[in-house]
Chain A
Amino acid sequence: MFFVKVLEHRIHLHPSFFGAQASDYILDQLYRDREGSNTGTMMIVAIIDVDDISEPKIVPGSGYAEYDVSYRAIVWRPFRGEVVDGLVSSVVNNGFFVDVGGLSVFVSKAMIPPQLKYTVEGATPSFTDGVDQTVERGSQVRLRIKGIRGEMGQMFAIGSIREDYLGPLLQ
């Protein structure tokens, strides 16, 4: 789900950057650092605006200036039980991986309806029921997130398509 959230970020500036442009540097750095990053629970999609750049403080002993920047950002946070759409990034024999934005979701074989069977045609593995549903690399899939695990900088989840209205989307 998407949210607008007020966040803070702390940036250190080398004394050699001190000057009129310092705040530009800070802003640049903020966008570079945070946009598209992943905190382990959510992903910062875009920074809407910067509320405030604090007065810099000189860090004793190093001479660096420390800025606290508070900004508003659109974040995406997946929830357990949420139904999301994603793109299949790879298919292996015990399930498949789906990219949902920056979140990699694994759908285990146990969470795939039994009529979808693992088949390998040529070099493209897929889960298919042989009629109209096929999950292969690149297919769009709707799934329910069953569990999420976050590490600093990345998130993983497992999902299920073993429910009504879930599974490959017909293109």
Chain B
Amino acid sequence: MASILDQDFPDEEEDDFNPAPEVGSDDEADEKPAANDDDDEDEPPARSERSRSRPQRDADDDAKDELGTEGLIGFGRDEDAEGEGRNLDDEDDEEDEEDEEDEQDDDLEGQPSRKRRKQHRRNQFIDVEAEVDEEDEEEPEEDDDLPGEEMHPDDLQELPPGADRDDRKHRELDRQREAQFQMDVEEEAARLKERYGRQSRATGTGSAIVPQRLLLPTTEDPRIFRMKCRPGKEKEVIISIQGRVNERLGSREPVRIYSAFERAKPGSPMSGMIYVEASRVEDVIAACEGITHVFMGTKPLMVPLEEMPDLLKVTKEKQLEPGMYVRIRRGLYSGDLAAVHEVEANGTEVILRIVPRLDYGLNEDVNGPMEAANGQKRKRPLVQRPPARLFSETEAKKRHGKYLSKQGGLSGSNWTYQNKEYIDGFLLEPFRLNALQTEDVNPTLEEVTKFATSSTDDGAENLDLAALAATLKTSTANEFLPGDKVEVFRGEQKGVTGHSVQVYGDVVKVKVDPGNGALSGGHIEAPIRDLRKLFREGDHVKVIGGSKYTDEVGMVVRTKDDRVTLLTDSNQSEITVFSKDLREATDSGGAAADSKFDLFDLVQLDAATVGCVIKVDRESLRILDQNSSVRTMLPSNISNKIEKRRNAVATDRDGNEMKSDDTIKEYSGEQKSGRVLHLHRNFVFAQTRERAENAGVWVSRHANVQVVAAKGGKAASGGVDLTKMNPALKQNGASPSPMPPPQAKGRDRLIGKSVKIRTGPNKGMIGLVKDASPDEAKVELHAKNKTLTMKKDMLTLIDPNTGNAIPDGIRSLAMGRPPPAGAGRTPAYAAGGGGRTPAYAMPSGGRTPAYAAGGGGRTPAWKQDAGARTPAYGGGTTYGGGGLGGQTAYGGATSYSGATSYGGGSVWGGGGGGGGPGGQSTWNPNMGGRTPAPSGSKTPAYGGMEAPTPGFNSAPTPGSYQDQPTPGGFRDQPTPGGFRGGNYQTPGSYQTPGGFPETPGPYSAETPGGDDGPRYD
């Protein structure tokens, strides 16, 4: 509120007016002498001060003179009232007497003087200690003989006319006091009560109540004037005025104001204003004129009488003390927590300890343009403020060695860097009070620990708990609820534990737990600030506020002072929070009940990505996606939640069934184990409590895990499910429906392919597919600049190189198979029929064709490229055929033989005859896959032996089928063709294999013949 201005205040009045205890107690009277002894030591200096101030007195100001002469009245000087009061009281023989006298006179007349009233007005805001009163009565006793003795001759000279009246009064007073002294104590008490009882209202100890209105200022009191000044400079102005008052104290023109004060607070509407109490406007102007920051342009405004009391309402203000925490409002550090290191004497500036945000020149543009004219750096917007880290001289030396210098040298941790001081890694910087936020600082533990840890060498945390408590005090009001376990941590009942029973205001009624000695079972009352919540290890608690951990639930693993470390239920991590932020948890729920996603939910991140929620915060989710990367996302960024499919089944690496809740183990890598949370497509999400990272969740592919123990094992391995239909009674249930053909997914593969229109007005035209839907396609014609939308079944896929139609190509594309591979595959299909049989066929027909093969053997070789492929296509077509198709595939192989083998075709017929035609055909296809290569060069051996080769076998199993699709491999194989060419001759045995080429021959001859034949020719 107001500044504390002057040591010289005429506080004596207040002290004199301090209410006497209602019962004038003997004890107090007894104590007086001792007090006096102490006070005597203080007399001389006080006296001299008094005497100096004396000359100023203006006798005209009769009742108020002491106010006026002293110049300034500060408010809120209760803290020094006592001491000062003593001094003054002791020397009542001096100027005090007049006051006393006045009062007495007033009393006698039974009507309060103006001065008295004024005093009341002020006093009602002042919390004067009751003890001071005792000394009121002591004065008369010792000082009887000293009236006026101490008055300096100069002072006497300077006394204005009328001052002599003072002397008389002094003497009168003395006489009165002497008489008083004779009175017995009781009488005196009664008298005191009567005399000072009015005062008691102000301090609240007396019984007599003076109506508030009597205490209000009247028109005869000095008025308060408002002056404008520069906002933020109010205190400075007041201090300057104070200086001026002191300076002119002894001069001819004393400053005739009673008080000056300001009520400015940063951001309040009162900033930029000072208030001066004076009788006349001229006095105000005289007091303020020439003082910097005062705007003399605006005339002093007289504060209306009724508003004057409001102006002086006391609002309790927190005094900053070293060690307290504040927040910085502006600048680089805005929002940062800072510790008060030192408070400047004038109270307007504090030195703060800050965790610096330095980039040590990293973001400095060395070559950046400097304003040549003034050498100032071009002003850049603050790019991004560097993170708050403790000052590191090594960092600073890297680029900014020139700005760095060492201070002191004793501790080695004091540095000056860019003209700022760094001690122990903290930046010490002065801040104006109005740049700071002192209320509602609410430091979080994370922030506070930054200040705590680094200040000791051993790294042990030493939180300044007292300071922290001071900062936090305001927010603790609703901390306790009835039923909370609490502990008294200071005061004489320190260490007592109990349960809170009742909370009212700042006091908590505690039922003391057994085991607290004499207090056990009883009730005590303790102020909130001496209490803290008590938690024991193992308690299940919930964080109810005050940090980013709000709503976490966990078990207490450690308590130290009022910091509690708990192990969260959700992800087994340890967090430390204040005990005031905790409450015993009844539910075992995790965090944030209001999020629509729960821990371990499976969510869809985008079309191709899913993830598992591993942490639910209030604002965000942490998600482990299927690629094992962790992302933080807002709930709104997640497209949807995938409901858990409890009956989802997948196969593990060994082909065993894997279900939700089974225990699985990673086959490779870290061999993590865990319980299956979700099975999605190819991925399995599992969770284990043994891992802390990602809440124990990990993700892998089905093929990379093994089932260790089936949880459902009981149901699966054990008996039947009694809640379902008895399987034994089921009549040979419907066999499972055949697997439907796979649906094409994603982009239609037909797009970009060349097609030919089969029917309609545009029949025969060739074009490119630009777009496709499940049954239509947009075709851009080669011939005309036109795009047609056609039904897919009106189109034929053609080979863009050769223009050959690929029968059924569109369908196979739709099935998700690349058409070229088609050949490769088809066989596989066919293979199903009888992988082996063909082997038979092989040898049988094998030989005959040898010839043919021999003949054609070469030709194809060079034709390799063209031939190799085309036939493949042919294969594709055939494939469509089904069983026979299988052969075609082979035909693919043949392809090269295609040329050759024309004749072969007949041979084939033979082959066909040899075995079940289907069988052979099938087989060939298989070969087709591989053979082509061998067929040329090696085949011989091959033909005979290879038939059984695994490749074969695998063919039938659909699995292998799948593998084969990789057309790449397939295609590569043709290359051997070249090889074939080379090797070709080497093998004498060559002929045997001949069978090979032969077989193909037949194929191509047979099925595709129609189509392909011409081409080859």
Contacts and interface: CB of A to CB of B under 8 A. Distances in A.
A89 B688 CA distance: 11
B723 interface: yes
Contact of A17 (B539, B565, B718, B726): B726
A120 interface: no
A9 interface: no
Given A28-B718, A90-B690, A147-B540, A158 B588 contact: no
A23 to B, nearest CB: 12
A25 B691 CA distance: 40
B719 interface: yes
Chief secondary structure at chain B's binding surface: loop
A106 interface: yes
Contact of B555 (A13, A104, A158): A158
Interface in B700-733: 714-715, 718-720, 722-726, 729
Contacts of B718: 28, 32
Given A90-B690, A147-B555, A149-B555, A158 B722 contact: no
Interface string A110-135: 11000000000000000000000000
A156 B553 CA distance: 13
Contacts of B572: 106
B719 A29 contact: yes
Interface string B564-579: 0101010011100000
A111 B719 contact: no
B692 A64 contact: no
A104 B689 contact: yes
A92 B555 contact: no
Given A32-B714, A148-B538, A16 B725 contact: yes
B558 interface: yes
B537 interface: yes
A25 to B, nearest CB: 6
Interface in A1-43: 11-14, 16-17, 25-26, 28-29, 32-33
A151 B588 contact: yes
Nearest to A104: B689
A44 B573 CA distance: 30
Nearest to B718: A32
A91 B518 CA distance: 46
A113 to B, nearest CB: 13
A67 to B, nearest CB: 10
B568 to A, nearest CB: 11
Interface string B508-552: 000000000000000000000000000001111000000000000
A158 B537 contact: yes
Contacts of A70: none
Contacts of B729: 16
A67 B714 CA distance: 20
A26 B722 CA distance: 8
A17 B722 contact: yes
Nearest to A36: B714
Contacts of B588: 149, 151
B556 interface: yes
Nearest to A107: B557
A150 to B, nearest CB: 8
A139 interface: no
Nearest to A13: B722
Chain A CB within 10 A, most for which of B538, B567, B569, B714: B538
Contacts of A97: 689-690
Given A14-B724, A16-B726, A28 B719 contact: yes
A3 B722 CA distance: 30
Contacts of B722: 11-14, 17, 25-26, 29
A6 B288 CA distance: 93
Given A149-B540, A149-B569, A158-B567, A32 B719 contact: yes
Nearest to A154: B689
B690 to A, nearest CB: 4
Contact of A111 (B540, B557, B720): B557
A110 B691 CA distance: 18
Contact of B538 (A33, A90, A147): A147
A38 B715 CA distance: 17
A147 B539 contact: yes
B540 to A, nearest CB: 6
A64 B718 CA distance: 21
Nearest to A26: B722
Given A146-B537, A147-B538, A149-B555, A25 B719 contact: yes
A94 interface: yes
B723 A108 contact: no
Interface string A77-91: 000100000000110
Nearest to B560: A110
A80 B724 CA distance: 41
Nearest to B721: A14
Contacts of A104: 689
Q: Count chain A CB atoms within 10 A of each CB in B540, B557, B574, B718 and give the residue with the most.
A: B557
A158 B540 CA distance: 10
Interface string B637-677: 00000000000000000000000000000000000000000
A64 B723 contact: yes
Interface in B721-762: 722-726, 729
A29 B558 CA distance: 44
Contacts of B714: 32-33
A140 interface: no
B726 A94 contact: no
B719 A110 contact: no
Given A25-B719, A94-B574, A149-B588, A158 B725 contact: no
Given A12-B723, A94-B692, A110 B565 contact: yes
B166 to A, nearest CB: 75
Interface string B74-90: 00000000000000000
A158 B723 contact: no
Nearest to B693: A92
Contacts of B690: 89-90, 92, 97
Contact of B537 (A93, A151, A160): A160
B556 A147 contact: yes
A108 B726 contact: no
Nearest to A106: B567
A14 B723 contact: yes
B720 to A, nearest CB: 8
Contacts of B574: 94, 108-109
Contacts of B567: 106, 108, 158
Contacts of A148: 538
Contacts of B719: 25, 28-29, 32
Nearest to B574: A94
A156 B689 CA distance: 10
A64 B574 CA distance: 48
Nearest to A80: B538
A110 B729 CA distance: 60
Contacts of B715: 32
Contact of A108 (B540, B558, B569): B558
A14 B725 contact: yes
A111 B569 contact: no
A19 B537 CA distance: 55
A127 to B, nearest CB: 15
B692 A111 contact: no
Contacts of A16: 725-726, 729
A5 B257 CA distance: 90
Interchain residue pairs A-B with the least CB separation, the first 7: A147-B538, A16-B726, A110-B558, A146-B538, A90-B690, A108-B557, A146-B537
Interface of A: 11-14, 16-17, 25-26, 28-29, 32-33, 64, 80, 89-90, 92-94, 97, 104, 106, 108-111, 145-149, 151, 156-158, 160
13 contacts: A12-B722, A12-B723, A14-B723, A32-B714, A92-B690, A108-B567, A146-B538, A146-B557, A147-B538, A147-B539, A147-B555, A149-B555, A149-B569
Given A16-B726, A17-B722, 10 more contacts: A11-B722, A28-B719, A97-B689, A106-B567, A106-B572, A110-B565, A146-B557, A147-B537, A149-B540, A156-B555
